[in-house]
Amino acid sequence: MKHFPVPLAVMVFLSAPALAELIVVEDRGGASALPYYEALDSPKDRARPSVQAIPPIRSLSEAEAALLPVRSARLSPGDEPPRAIRAPGLTPLFLVGDDDLSRAWLQRRYAELRDLRAVGLVVNVSSPASLAALRRLVPELSLSPASADDLAERLGLSHYPVLMTATGIAP
């Protein structure tokens, strides 16, 4: 049977009583961090609930209304230059807002968007009534309010309305 050398620290640990106090090997001075840890676990914090009650949302329309208004600071109505992209697997996605240019674009491209089963993001809309009016224009399309600032930054977009597919961005 082979014997392996046992490090000194393991021998000390194994020979120490189970409930022994810690021995300070080195103390470099400085202030104790104990007050910070005690503040994290104060009795007054334990008495107060850590999560505040959120009123229940009764319906999808109520939940959606809580998201409004939606603003995409990086995007404005206008003409976005068409360009090719490579995004294999991207579900056709379009961006619109609550403005005259977007409403005209939706009406003009409705059949194409429906045939593509494109999903719409309404990137600038102020109220549930405005969102509902856009939905009435394109009843078979999915329109969801969402800021698209991150998407605009990643794809270099400045304007909407646009349609994005796996192969390109088109106004």
Q: How many residues does the chain have?
A: 171
Q: Is residue 37 part of a domain?
A: no
Q: How many domains does the chain have?
A: 1
Q: Return per-residue pLDDT of the chain as tens, 171 residues.
A: 444 444 444 444 444 455 556 666 666 666 666 665 565 655 555 555 555 566 666 777 777 788 889 999 999 999 999 999 999 999 999 999 999 999 999 999 999 999 999 999 999 999 999 999 999 999 999 999 999 999 999 999 999 999 999 999 999
Q: Is residue 141 part of a domain?
A: yes
Residues with Cβ within 8 Å of 26's Cβ and at least 6 positions away in sequence, in order, are none
Q: Is residue 120 part of a domain?
A: yes
Q: Is residue 72 part of a domain?
A: no
Q: Is residue 13 part of a domain?
A: no
Q: Is residue 52 part of a domain?
A: no
Domain span holding position 131: 79-166
Q: Is residue 25 part of a domain?
A: no
pTM above 0.75, yes or no: no
Q: Is residue 71 part of a domain?
A: no
